[in-house]
Every structure is written in C-alpha cells, then in structure tokens.
Amino acid sequence: MTYQLYIAELNGTKPDAAMTIGQAQTKSFIFAPDNTDYQQFKKDIQNGVVLNDVDGNPITDSALTTFLATLP
C-alpha cells in the first residue's frame, strides 16, 4: 500500500490529509487524532509503508522523520 498526501483545507499550504493509492478501494481522510483511518496511517508510515508527497513523489527517510514530528 502507498499513501499520498494532499491539502484538503481551502487555501492551505501544508498537507493535512492523505489517501491510499493502488488499492481496490481508495480511502481518503483528514489528519484528525480521533479518526481511525488517520491512526492506522500513522502506524503504517512508521512501519515502512511508502508515503508520497502532494506531487506523488516518495518522501525520503529524513523528510519523513521531519513530517512525522509535525503530525497532531
């Protein structure tokens, strides 16, 4: 599975949502601590699932560490 980040907030400047890529059923969700899809997303990316930036490019390990530190 792969996740891709996107910006859901109108006039937003940083990714605040993600969607699954390459799945029969795509999931899309915002970053909300009480959202179970978001909770699974955090577990998945910490365990090595591929995360793409908003342009569809895989995020490097160092960029991933920085990104994880900004999540709610």
Identify residue 34 by its one-letter amino acid code. D
Question: Based on C-alpha coordinates, what's the Rg of the chain?
Answer: 11
For residue 58, the 8-state DSSP code is B
pTM for this predicted structure: 0.90
Identify residue 4 by its one-letter amino acid code. Q
Q: What are phi and psi of 17, to 5 degrees?
A: -160, 165
Residue 8 to residue 10: CA distance in whole angstroms: 6
Identify residue 28 by its one-letter amino acid code. S
pLDDT score for 25: 86
Per-residue pLDDT for the chain (72 aa), expressed as one digit of tens each? 999 999 999 999 999 999 999 888 899 999 999 999 999 999 999 999 999 999 999 999 889 989 999 999
Domain locations along the chain: 2-70
